[in-house]
Amino acid sequence: MAMILNGKEVSARIKDELRDEVKAMKARGIEPGLAVILVGDDPASAVYVRNKKLACEYIRINSFEYILPKETSEAELIELIQKLNNDSSVSGILCQLPLPEHISEEAVINAIDPKKDVDAFHPVNVGKIMTGNYDFVPCTPAGVMELIKESGIDVAGKECVVVGRSNIVGKPMAMLLLHQHGTVTICHSRTKELAEKTRCADILIAAVGIPEFIKGDMIKPGAVVIDVGINRIAPKKLVGDVEFDTAEKLAAAITPVPGGVGPMTIAMLMKNTLKAAELNKTC
C-alpha cells in the first residue's frame, strides 16, 4: 500500500510555524494583511474564500474581505484593486477566480501590483518563475513542492510528468520541478499515447480537472502520485483526478482527496502573504 501524503497534517505544521513568524513580524512593526475579493455568488469560490479567512484568523494576520455583486463592472473592480494597491495595510491582494464572463481575468490580474500578487499570476511574477528568481509561486504548485519536500522525496534526476498545462497549475508546476532538477514532461488534451508517458513517471502530477481520469494502469509501480484535482461527483462526495483505489495499490506515495494538496494551497497563500508583507514594509 502507498504512503499517504497527508497535506492536512503538513499544512497544519506550516501554519503553526507561520503563526510564530507573524508574532515576530508584529514585534518588528510589520502587520501582514490579506485582501480577498469575491465577485458573484459561486458556491465553490465562497468556500475557498471562507477557508482563506479562517487561515488568516489562525495565523493572526489581518483579513480584508470584499464580496461584490455579480453585476460589478470591470472598471469598478479594477478601481477597487488600485485602492488596495495603494493601501499600506494590505500586504497581499487575491481576486478569486473564476470571474463573471463580462470581466477580463487578464485585465484584473494585470491591475494587481506584482509585489502584492500573492497568487503569482501577474506576468511579472510568471516571468520570474521562469528564471527561478521569484518572490511568489502560485499557491497550488508551491503546496505540491512543499508536500514533496516534507515527505522526503528528492526530485533531482526523477522523471516527472505533469498532466495539465494551465497557467495556474500545470505550467508553473513544470517549472518548479525543473528548478529542482527533475526531467519534466508536460501532457495535455492533445498528447498522444498519454498512458505510455504517465507510466514512465517517477513523479506524476495530475491537474486536468476530470474526475478519476488517471487510472491505476497508467501509473508506474513505485511512483509518487500527486492529485491536484478536486471534483464534486455527488452532494457529499469529492474525488480527485486520480482513481485513488487503483492507484494506491501501485504507487509508493499518493495524495488523498480531500486532505492532500488542498490544505497545502491555503498554507502557501499564507506564506506568500507574509513574504509580501516583508517586500512592502517600506511602502
Catalytic residues: 52, 96, 119
Whether the Cβ atoms of residue 11 and residue 139 lie closer than 8 Å to each other: no
Separation of alpha carbons 47 and 67, rounded Å: 13
Separation of alpha carbons 277 and 60, rounded Å: 13
Question: How many residues comprise the chain?
Answer: 283
Whether the Cβ atoms of residue 122 and residue 64 lie closer than 8 Å to each other: no
Closest CA to 267 of 12, 57, 94, 6: 12
Angle at 124 between CA 44 and CA 35, to 5 degrees: 40
Burial 247-265 (b: 16+ CB within 10 A, else e): bbebbebbbbbebbbbbbb
The pair phi, psi for residue 103, each rounded to 5°, is: -110, 130
Q: Which amino acid is at 78?
A: I
Q: Which amino acid is at 4?
A: I
Q: Return the H-helix or E-strand segment holding 83.
A: helix 74-85
The pair phi, psi for residue 69, each rounded to 5°, is: -65, 155
